[in-house]
Amino acid sequence: MRLTVNDLSVRYGATAVICGLDLVAEPGEVLAVIGPNGSGKSSLVKAVAGLLPHGGTIAYDGRRERPRSIGYMPQDIGVRTALTVLEAVLLGRFGKLGLRVGASDLAAAEAVLVELDLVALASRYLGELSGGQRQLVFLAQALASEPTLLLLDEPISALDIRHQLEVMETMLRVTRERDLTTLVVLHDLNIAARFADSVVAMRGGRAVCHGRPERVIEPAMVAKVFDVQAGMSIGADGRRIVTPLKAL
- Judged by CB under 8 A, does residue 118 bind other proteins? yes
Q: Which of 224, 185, 188, 186 is nearest to 204 (CA)?
A: 224
Rounded Cα distance between 89 and 96, Å, is 13
Closest CB 55 distance from other proteins, rounded Å: 20
The single residue among 13, 14, 103, 246 that binds other proteins, judged by CB under 8 A, is 103
Cβ-count burial 153-162 (b if 16+ within 10 Å, e if not): bbbbbbbeee
Report how far Cα 113 is from the mean position of its chain's Cα atoms: 19
Q: Which of 229, 244, 184, 234 is nearest to 214 (CA)?
A: 234
Closest CB 95 distance from other proteins, rounded Å: 6
Total binding residues toward other proteins, as defined by CB under 8 A: 56
- Phi, psi (deg, nearest 5) at residue 227: 55, 45
The single residue among 3, 10, 49, 221 that binds other proteins, judged by CB under 8 A, is 49
- Judged by CB under 8 A, does residue 13 bind other proteins? no
Piece of 73-81, 175-183, 192-200, 208-216 that binds other proteins (CB under 8 A):
73-81
Q: How many CB atoms lie within 10 A of CB 104?
A: 10
Residue span 137-156 as binding mask against other proteins, x where in contact by CB under 8 A, dash where not:
-x------x-----------
3-class DSSP state of 43 = helix
Residue type, 27: P
The single residue among 4, 26, 59, 124 that binds other proteins, judged by CB under 8 A, is 124
DSSP string of 170-182, one letter each residue:
HHHHHHHHTT-EE
DSSP bridge pairs for 33: 185, 200
Using DSSP bridges, classify how beta strands 149-153 and 181-185 pair: parallel, antiparallel or unpaired: parallel
- Judged by CB under 8 A, does residue 236 bind other proteins? no
Nearer to other proteins, 145 or 175 (CB): 145
- Judged by CB under 8 A, does residue 32 bind other proteins? no
Which residues inside 154-183 make contact with other proteins, applying CB under 8 A? 162-163, 166-167, 170
Nearer to other proteins, 79 or 232 (CB): 79
Q: Are 109 and 144 in contact (CB under 8 A)?
A: yes
The single residue among 14, 77, 220, 234 that binds other proteins, judged by CB under 8 A, is 77
Nearer to other proteins, 159 or 225 (CB): 159
- Phi, psi (deg, nearest 5) at residue 183: -115, 120
Q: Which residues bind other proteins (CB under 8 A)?
A: 46, 49, 51, 68, 70, 72-74, 77, 79-84, 86-88, 91-92, 94-95, 97, 99, 101, 103, 106-107, 109-110, 113-114, 116-129, 132-133, 136, 138, 145, 162-163, 166-167, 170
